[in-house]
Amino acid sequence: MKKKLVPLFLLTLSIIPAWAEDRVSCPVIYEQSYTLVNNANVLSLKSGNETILLNFESASHFSEGLASVKINDKWGFLDKSGKIAIKPQFDDATGFSEGLSMVCIKGKCGFIDKAGEFAIKPQFDDATGFSDGLAHVKIKDKWGFINKKGENVIKPSFAYIFGFREGLAHASINGKYGFMDKAGEFAIKPQFDYADGFSDGLASVKINDKFGFIDKTGKIVIKPQFDSVFSPFLEDLALVGINGKYGFIDKTGMIAIKPQFEDAFGFSDGLASVKIDGKYGFIDKTGKIVIKPQFNEAKFFNEGLAEMNINNKWGFIDKSGKIVIKPQFDEVFGSFNEGLALVGIKGKYGFIRKPDCE
């Protein structure tokens, strides 16, 4: 590996590729090197006139224009130009959701706005991001919900409760799951052995060791008959398991793609990753194989690209199956989001921008 000396200002500015607006030759291949910054060797990636420093200890996806990053054991936020927008100062931080991010300092959690100012001061023992206008927070050993003013909407009284989705949150009482409205009342009484959140008006529930789906009135619309449900309805299809094989159903409960796969992921961008004879490829919504099984692992398409693994290295393909970014990363964290993907090599992390191939 090569070493080179660069100015200190590149510590932030070169995190995001310089060629963002240029068309490039694909597949993109990065050369690993070390860049000397502040008398320390920082792992970097170079391709053409692009240089990326992998100088984060951890990071999250970009959300609402910012990504949380960890530097010297503290969390801050990065903008899409690669500049630090909110300096690292927090013990923990999540991505922004509905304009606010959960952060923790000295064992207490609160919420900041995009200027880095506290909108809700640190006072909770744990918390998650806002969804449907509410965030669930923990005080001592109980969970409840607050609004964006920090006011209790549902006082902490649950051992655990999940976030609101489509106006309802699923919660467990005495081993049974039900669904709560934003007034803190059970709209669907606890009666299920397990439940997941609503998506497209339906939620999966478990009764007598089988999974089915209910609507928002609690009515069973797809009878419990599946051994497992691995995704909510995504693009009108849900991933289900029967007798160790996986397939897809439509919203009437009819089998749309028969269970035949060793593993599978939900649909995104019109395609779903499936495993056949130990390799992953992609099918369309008719069940037709459109990218032949050839990968050690492959997951979701987003913004036209999907992450895939060959020989324990991760890269990205387009919807024709063409390799756009050569498998070369130890880790990737989903596909592209807001034009950027989070990648890792040797325990260090940075962001690559979606290439515009020639």
Phi-psi region of 338 (alpha: psi -120 to 50; beta: other; left: phi over 0): left
pLDDT average, residue stretch 119-147: 96
Tokens standing for residue 177: 């799951």
83: CATH: 2.130.10
Sheet strands side by side (includes 40-47): 2-5, 31-37, 40-47, 50-53
Q: Cβ(223)–Cβ(254) under 8 Å?
A: no
Q: Is residue 217 part of a domain?
A: yes
pLDDT at 17: 47
**Residue 112 pLDDT:** 98
Q: Give per-residue pLDDT as tens, 81-105.
A: 899 999 999 999 999 999 999 999 9
- Whether 3 shows a pLDDT value over 60: the answer reads no
> Which pLDDT score, from 0 to 100, does residue 5 have?
37
Which alpha helices (DSSP H) does the chain contain, by range? 10-13
Residue 350 or 19, more confident? 350
pLDDT at 1: 46
In a domain, 247, yes or no: no
Tell me: pLDDT of 150 over 90: yes
191 vs 231, more confident: 191
Q: What is the pLDDT of residues 267-318, one digit of tens each?
A: 999 999 999 999 999 999 999 999 999 999 999 999 999 999 999 999 999 9
Mean pLDDT score across all residues of the chain: 92
Query: What's the whole-number mean pLDDT along residues 205-221?
Result: 98
Domain enclosing residue 336, as ranges: 2-230+263-357
- Residue 289 is assigned to a structural domain of this protein: yes
Residue 237 lies in a domain: no
Q: With respect to residue 268, please indicate whether it lies within any of the assigned structural domains.
A: yes
26 occurs within a structural domain: yes
Q: Quick check: is 238 in a domain?
A: no
Q: What is the pLDDT of residue 51?
A: 84
Residues 6+ apart with CB under 8 A from 68: 59, 60, 75, 76, 77, 78, 93, 94, 95, 101
By percentage, how much of the chain surpasses pLDDT 70?
Answer: 94
pLDDT at 4 over 60: no
Residues 152-162 have a mean pLDDT of 91
Cβ atoms within 10 Å of 171's Cβ, excluding its own: 22
Assigned domain for 178 exists: yes
Give the residue-averaged pLDDT of 122-146. 96
Residue 11's pLDDT is what?
A: 41
pLDDT at 21: 53
Domains in the chain, number = 1
Question: What backbone torsions phi and psi does residue 10 show, to the nearest 5 degrees?
Answer: -70, -10
pLDDT of 343 reads: 97
